[in-house]
Amino acid sequence: MGDETAVEMFVGGLVLDPNTQSPVVILKDESGEVCLPIWIGIAEATSIASAIKQINMQRPLTHDLMYDIFGELGVRVERVLITELRESTYFAELVLAHGDKVMVVDSRPSDAIAIALRASAPILVAQQVLDQAKVKVNVGPPPAQGEEDQPQGEQGEGQAADAIPQQGGQDFTQVDREKWNDLLESLDPDDFKYKV
């Protein structure tokens, strides 16, 4: 897929879906008006949050390890591209470079975003994905309680919804570094296991 049909987006925040208690990463364009919510797992949310807050863990998280391996091998993370929305699931690619060789690797969006944050690499979303996701434009005050659109049903890793949870979600990006460390330490190890 060509990047010319893609929009650069930034991590605008991490919230908890008030209905499912699942983490949601919110991507926003430069204007902040176009938002793309993607439901992710708790481990990926922790990894993304630790990169945003620049929290150094005692031992490397999986995405830290991957990024370190890339560095040792001389591989650069050029960009991340969210390429497709198929059956309510997003698909992404990591675009890597080693010398003159460019490699495109299939990835879940959450993993790709976590690595892009560590590499300070751009996160791009295909325009067709934004169109297909029926992305909401966030202008004006948030809707009154009970008036906001709600995600439909349970959302899983990398899943899409027709709405952004605007109220009732906990915004992890507003938690200061010390409180975030306390939050991470208080999580039960079972919270980090994938649900099958």
Q: How far apart are alpha carbons 184 and 181 in whole angstroms?
A: 5
User: Is this model's pTM higher than 0.75 or not?
Assistant: no
pLDDT, position 154: 37
Question: 3-state DSSP call for residue 167?
Answer: coil
pLDDT, position 135: 67
pLDDT digits (tens, 9 = 90+) for 10-23: 999 899 888 888 99
pLDDT, position 127: 94
- At position 66, the amino acid (one-letter code) is M
Strands (DSSP E) contained in 30-113 are: 35-39, 76-86, 89-98, 101-107
Q: How far apart are alpha carbons 99 and 24 in whole angstroms?
A: 35
Q: How far apart are alpha carbons 123 and 102 in whole angstroms?
A: 17
Q: What count of other Cβ atoms lies within 10 Å of the Cβ of residue 53? A: 16
- 3-192 architecture in CATH? Roll (3.10)
- Report mean pLDDT in 10-residue bins for the chain, 196 residues: 79 89 92 91 92 85 93 96 94 97 97 96 96 64 36 46 40 48 49 34
